[in-house]
Amino acid sequence: MILIDSIKTKDGIPGNIYTFSPDLETYNLSSSHTTNFLDVLKLGKKMGYKIPEKIKIYAVEIKNNTDFTEKCTPEIERCIPEVVQKIIDELKS
């Protein structure tokens, strides 16, 4: 499974690309009030749903994660070809 999302880190530079894979085996489901993507995957696994063994997340740093728009910022527009190429390379390996 390949996921593409945005990310807002403390000192990140908009347009930076991060790749990571969630570690479902060591992730702890602690509260239903703070459910996130990893919680959903872990819960699905516990309920017997087939969860992909290999999950890769491509996250692009953004400036603002509180406003919604259908257009990408210039920083994000510039990094789209790089994200696409990284995914193509991942699929080839």
Task: Give me the percent of the chain exceeding a pLDDT of 90.
Answer: 39
**2-92: which CATH number, 1.20.58.340, 3.40.50.1450, 1.10.10.10, 3.10.180.10?**
3.40.50.1450
Cα separations in angstroms, 4 against 1, 28, 37, 46, 71 = 10, 23, 13, 24, 16
CB 92 within 8 A of CB 43: no
pTM of the model: 0.74
Confidence of residue 35 (pLDDT cuts 50, 70, 90): low
Handedness of CA 88, 18, 4, 73 (dihedral sign): negative
| pLDDT at res. 2 | 92
Confidence of residue 14 (pLDDT cuts 50, 70, 90): very high
| pLDDT at res. 15 | 92
Residue 28 has pLDDT above 70, yes or no: no
Confidence of residue 25 (pLDDT cuts 50, 70, 90): low
